[in-house]
A and B are shown apart, each in its own frame.
Chain A
Amino acid sequence: MFRLRVNQSLATVDCDGQTPLLYVLRNDLALNGPKFGCGLGQCGACTVLIDAKPVRSCVMPVASVGDGSIVTLDGLSKAGVPDPLQRAFIEAQAAQCGYCTNGMIMTAKALLERNKVPTEGEIKRALSGNLCRCGSHNRIVKAVQLAAKAR
């Protein structure tokens, strides 16, 4: 049994401790944000925040989470009000298939927490470990800039 703090509520899951956090979030807690992309920590589609830091949930065993506070894309909006990043991704139309969007937004969220006005280069560097196959890169960078301005 593991007790997790996810999106500001407590959850209990019964599974093997080596189970990747991703499967617990998706299958036990029915969260949609983090996506399975590679299972290797290489693409970023599964990114969640643990104590405000971006973490690849596909390679994080659930037993290692401890009492860290997990935030997923599902929990980013507050009382139905989208996060500035979510609004900006829509405004910039910064996705085609949108499968990588979770990782882009969550990684950008962590960036904006520590750097309120990142430069274009800083945004690209922060997102350099997140893969997009549709080629929405420039729109994603623009969306992060829009969100930074909105804050």
Chain B
Amino acid sequence: MNRGRRGFLERSGVIVATFALGLPTVGAQTSAAARPVSFAKNGRLDGWIAVNDQGAVTVFTGKVELGQGILTALAQIAAEEMDVGLDQIAMMSGNTVRGPDEGYTFGSQSVEQSGSALRAASAFARATLVAAAAKRLNVDPTAVTVENGVVTAPDGRRLAYGEIVRDDRKLLDRDVSHLTAAKPPQAYRIVGKSVPRIDLPDKVMARGIYLQDMRMPGMVFGRVVRPPSAGAELQSIDEAVAGSLPGVLAVVRLSSFLGVVAEREEQAITAAEALRRAARWKSVGSGLPDDARLPEELERFAREDIVVKEAGRAPERDEVARWVEATYSRPYLSHASIGPSCAVAKVEPGQVTVWSHTQGPFPLRGDLATALGLPVDYVQVIHVQAAGCYGHNGADDAALDAALLAMAVPGRPVKLQWSRQDEFVWSPAGPAMLMRAKAGLSAEGKVVDWDYALWSNSHALRPGQAGGLNLLGAWYLGKGHHLSPPAKIPQPFGNGDRNAVPLYDFPRQRIVNHLLTEMPLRTSSLRTLGSHGNVFAIECFMDELALAAGSDPVAFRLAHLPDPRGRAVLQTAADAAGWSGSYRSNGRRGRGVAYTRYKNISTYVAVIVEIEVDRVSGKIQVTRAVTAADAGLVINPDGLISQCEGGIVQGLSWALKEQLRFDRQTITSTDWTSYPIMTFDEVPPIDVRLLNRPNDPSLGAGEATVGPASAALANALANATGKRLRHLPLTPDRVKALLG
């Protein structure tokens, strides 16, 4: 570092420190001790915040918009701390050219991670701008006020942010190590308010903000021909069958990777079909398991046994009055995005640029470079919004597909969108799960022993993971690329064992994760990872134990739940739903409750579901859902409500209808008829109650309601009929069989 630069930083450090003294006490969200995790890789202030001469603020985040409303929430945080209007802020996200690198947008961590980084960076940017303004106005920085990006001195003289940076364009080019105190929550004017989503006007007005809407000069279209079964080798292909078709620019065969580029989209599709008919494949491996024998089949897969938790001493014989045991399962599930995966790639001398709806532009960039055989800095990934993904779907795979095809037509951007069938068959599935629970109840109706085991493939096989290259196309290139080994993710995050540790006060617990290492069906992250299956099993089992103990399900949970915030959401949901002991199910009508704290460290949520069962058809109609959620400091209440509603609908849809089907060769759920999801007439009214806790850190909430919704539904069915289904989905056929 040169002298001038160091001098500049020293000066600024002093000014900032002086300013910081004049601020109120540091809020719960930021303190010098809690340095935002995202600063580790991105330590420059102007890597997060830029202000131009007109005073427009650009906020950079590594987290990306997946439909969850994150850019709006982050814009609120930045606007709040910088004292600018929300309309003065433009959000730039998920770009490897510019950064910041914040890994993946997953695990409901964006407000926690990027939110805390932007809160600190924005407060520091404001302090820096105010200090510079105060110096120019020759006033004490603590004496000025700031509104809409205009600094006003006590005597009324004004200086806008734009004017300040005009004098010193490098003003925000500094290290973020000298943090300034953020605002106390009591001072918030934008955070905590329901503001409209900043991306909706463009979406509703069809202004072309989706990746699918990208059009570039000279752009052409690609399609990839997938084999008839996973891992099959391409034996022979007469490339001429497609090469002579109208519009075809290139047939790409790289070992067993087969694709085509054409001038027009429908030409690419026609050519891909011709190639599919002409291709001869040799299947490899032993095929898929018998889907009629799931979930027990999971116990026969090769596996690694991991003791997740072992606590307390085994109860004495006379302490247990009654043992209860049950087995639960969920099938393989599909992300089932409404928009199949898409990508645009362009190859230029020394650079490959890929526009993708990936959840992790930086990790994807690394795996893309490896698959393409290029140095990492030759590859840039730029996030552009697409349909909601709900986890690791085909987005990253489509990015490699487009890049491989673009290599064949340098200079011409290649756009590629998967077919509906490819999205179902080739994007990673949410793993099937088997859960076995056994508990001992004391004579007083308390759980004194809790034994729980789960069997599941890995829920985490994303690009960028160690020990492999997790992009579909790469495995067909004949270069020995393969999937990473399953990740052992420690608690509380967990993999299949996310939320496997109960939140209740059980004196003795033993929890085992049978991590399946044999993976006939490709799996990876679906919203909540293993939390969905575990919350489903634990919360169903709690109802079974309550029944055995002769206790009300809400009262039974409260009797085992010490956490006051957990108790509060349960009580709030129960009150909102009018939960009372006098409720009588009647063989047709029933209600169920479920509770969780997502990842054991994040949002608290209780869900109550009411249903009516048609005993003739076996169809369950959900008549009402009520939820209470505590996500700490709420940034955007309506955004949080929307996420809770969406999670409930998805949790109900998974539980009622969804199962990815397959034969011994391949996945047979290929469209919306063979993989139905919930429709308008099936979605119940949903009542969301938020418990705002402004003095507690914000907790990620995008996934919290999914598991409890499934569990509450199954509990409602048991409550209505007196009989329980323990294996998802709760289809009419299964309900009919249950009721005889």
Task: Point out residues on A near B: beta carbons under 8 Å.
Answer: 15-16, 18-20, 23, 26-27, 30-33, 35-40, 42-43, 45, 72-74, 76-77, 82, 86, 89-90, 93, 95-102, 105, 123-125, 127-128, 130-141
Contacts and interface: CB of A to CB of B under 8 A. Distances in A.
B671 A42 contact: yes
B215 A133 contact: no
Given A133-B337, A141-B680, A98 B647 contact: no
A148 to B, nearest CB: 16
A134 B67 contact: yes
Given A15-B264, A95-B200, A40 B680 contact: no
Contacts of A130: 680
B158 interface: no
Given A82-B205, A97-B387, A133-B650, A38 B672 contact: yes
A35 B387 CA distance: 10
B303 interface: no
Contacts of B340: 36-37
Given A36-B339, A133-B337, A138 B265 contact: no
A138 B645 CA distance: 9
B681 A124 contact: yes
B649 interface: yes
Contacts of B207: 32
A20 to B, nearest CB: 7
B680 A96 contact: no
A105 B685 contact: no
B266 A31 contact: no
B215 A30 contact: yes
B307 to A, nearest CB: 36
B68 interface: yes
A134 B212 contact: no
18 contacts: A18-B266, A32-B213, A35-B339, A36-B339, A42-B420, A43-B672, A73-B206, A86-B205, A89-B200, A93-B197, A97-B66, A99-B210, A105-B204, A134-B650, A135-B645, A135-B653, A137-B649, A137-B680
A112 to B, nearest CB: 16
Interface string B414-431: 000101100000000000
Contacts of A124: 680-681
Closest 10 CB pairs of A and B: A97-B67, A135-B649, A135-B646, A98-B203, A97-B388, A99-B387, A96-B67, A33-B206, A32-B208, A137-B683
B196 interface: yes
A37 B420 contact: yes
B386 interface: yes
Contacts of B221: 27
Interface in B227-271: 246, 264-266
Contact of B265 (A27, A82, A101): A27
A82 B200 CA distance: 13
B571 interface: no
B677 interface: yes
B272 to A, nearest CB: 13
B699 interface: no
A20 B642 CA distance: 34
Interface in B183-198: 196-197
B199 A98 contact: yes
Given A97-B388, A133-B677, 19 more contacts: A19-B264, A27-B215, A39-B420, A42-B673, A95-B203, A96-B388, A96-B642, A99-B67, A99-B387, A124-B680, A128-B679, A131-B677, A133-B336, A134-B388, A134-B646, A135-B645, A135-B648, A135-B678, A136-B642
Contacts of A36: 212, 339-340, 417
A18 B258 CA distance: 25
A86 B645 contact: no
Contacts of A23: 264-266
B140 interface: no
B638 interface: yes
Contacts of A19: 264, 266
Contacts of A97: 66-67, 338-339, 385-388
A125 B681 contact: yes
A138 B671 contact: no
Contacts of B99: none
B60 interface: no
A93 B638 contact: yes
Contacts of A141: 680
B69 interface: yes
B642 A139 contact: yes
Nearest to B683: A137
A79 B385 CA distance: 27
Contacts of B680: 123-125, 127-128, 130, 137, 140-141
Nearest to B386: A99
B201 interface: yes
A33 B206 CA distance: 5
A100 B203 contact: no
B617 to A, nearest CB: 17
Contacts of A35: 210, 212, 338-339, 387
Given A42-B673, A137-B680, A90 B201 contact: yes
Nearest to A19: B266
Interface in B611-657: 638, 642-643, 645-650, 653
A130 B588 CA distance: 29
Contacts of B206: 31-33, 72-74, 76, 102
Contacts of A42: 420, 671-673
A115 to B, nearest CB: 16
B686 interface: yes
A99 B386 CA distance: 7
Nearest to A44: B338
A138 B683 contact: yes
A16 B340 CA distance: 24
A98 B645 contact: no
Nearest to B219: A27
Contact of B390 (A72, A95, A132, A133): A133
B645 A43 contact: no
A21 to B, nearest CB: 11
A113 B475 CA distance: 52
Nearest to B686: A138
A86 B200 CA distance: 10
Contact of B388 (A99, A105, A128): A99
B419 A39 contact: yes
A89 B681 CA distance: 19
B642 A101 contact: no
Nearest to B342: A36
A95 to B, nearest CB: 6
Interface string B653-673: 100000000000000000111
Interface string B135-147: 0000000000000
A55 B386 CA distance: 23
Contact of A98 (B204, B215, B264, B390): B204
B337 A131 contact: no
Most buried by B among A18, A45, A97: A97
Contacts of B204: 82, 86, 89-90, 95, 98, 101, 105
A122 B338 CA distance: 23
A30 to B, nearest CB: 6
A133 B387 contact: yes
Among A39, A90, A102, A135, the most chain B Cβ lie within 10 Å of the Cβ of A135
A3 B643 CA distance: 44
